[in-house]
Amino acid sequence: MDAVLEGRNRGRAEVLLVPHASYDFIAGLCGAAFAAAADRPPATVVLAATVHRDRDDAVYLPEEESFATPLGPVPVRREVIERWTGRTSRFRLSSLPHREEHSLEIQLPFVKRLFPGADLVPVLAGGLGGALADLRDALVELEQRFEGPFLYVLSSNLSRYDDRRAAEAEADRFLVDALKGDWADLRELGRKGLVSACGTGLLSVLMPVLGTDLAGRVVGRERSDRREDGRDKCILYGALAWEKGGP
């Protein structure tokens, strides 16, 4: 892990978009993304992703006191979990989705290595409906009620596994809106199926909560290619960082 982090440009990012896949494909992207936040150690990391197996309109919060990593446990900030669990019926206390979901798990060693004193608010969201609106309101309360600083880490790839040209076009559309901060358009593209990044809905509700003074940049981009059924197919991975005043 130290080799992956070594030589990366460090920064004070407050929001990261980090991919999820085998470390063979994305370890360098994870290192670049987390290094971009290394000079602003958070008290709490809000780690969020979309549920891949069950798209119920719900937000799933864990029952555990901590999440395990090879470097030691990362404690869960239970006061936030308990506060959120009682907000609406869409907030569900259930560890099963977390145990089945790799998109958060793969980020945890980087959290532990770079921010050993931070605790964790792990969030899994399904669908694009009322649960995202409820999560937006909860994030507003988090910023107002609880002590930070916070680092928001969204686990998402830039595209689904698709024909190469289609995947590249979807990733490019996502990046255009994500970098210029057009969150309403990004969410609409997601509704229409014109972008396939799994974190589209989460990003489009998170960023307006944090204000307009965060400037985004791409810190890395990769792809995995495969020839299948006579077609060139791929999935696009990217690492993005948002920081006050830009890089």
**106-119 pLDDT, tens digit each:** 999 999 999 999 99
pLDDT score of 88: 86
Percent of the chain with pLDDT over 90: 65
pLDDT score of 51: 86
> Nearest 10 degrees: CA dihedral of 41, 43, 49, 55?
-170
Q: Which residue has the higher pLDDT, 1 or 12?
A: 12
| pLDDT exceeds cutoff 70 at 194 | yes
| pLDDT exceeds cutoff 60 at 162 | yes
| pLDDT exceeds cutoff 90 at 178 | yes
What single-letter amino acid sits at 221?
A: R
CA separation for the pair 144, 238 (Å, rounded): 30
| pLDDT exceeds cutoff 80 at 54 | no
Q: 75-123 pLDDT, tens per residue?
A: 999 999 999 998 888 999 988 888 888 899 999 999 999 999 999 999 9
| pLDDT exceeds cutoff 70 at 246 | no
CA separation for the pair 186, 196 (Å, rounded): 11
pTM over 0.85: yes
**Are residues 244 and 178 in contact, defined by beta-carbon separation less than 8 angstroms?**
no
Mean pLDDT over all residues of the chain?
90
Structural domains of the chain sorted by starting position, each given as residue range(s) with its CATH number in brackets? 2-158+198-223+239-244 (3.40.830.10)
CA separation for the pair 102, 50 (Å, rounded): 11
| pLDDT exceeds cutoff 70 at 247 | no
pLDDT score of 235: 87
pLDDT score of 101: 83
pLDDT score of 44: 97
The most confident of the ranges 69-73, 125-129, 165-169 is 69-73
pLDDT category of residue 138 using cuts at 50, 70 and 90: very high
pLDDT score of 230: 76
Task: Calculate mean pLDDT across residues 11-24.
Answer: 94
Q: Which two tokens stand for residue 57?
A: 């309109």
| pLDDT exceeds cutoff 80 at 36 | yes
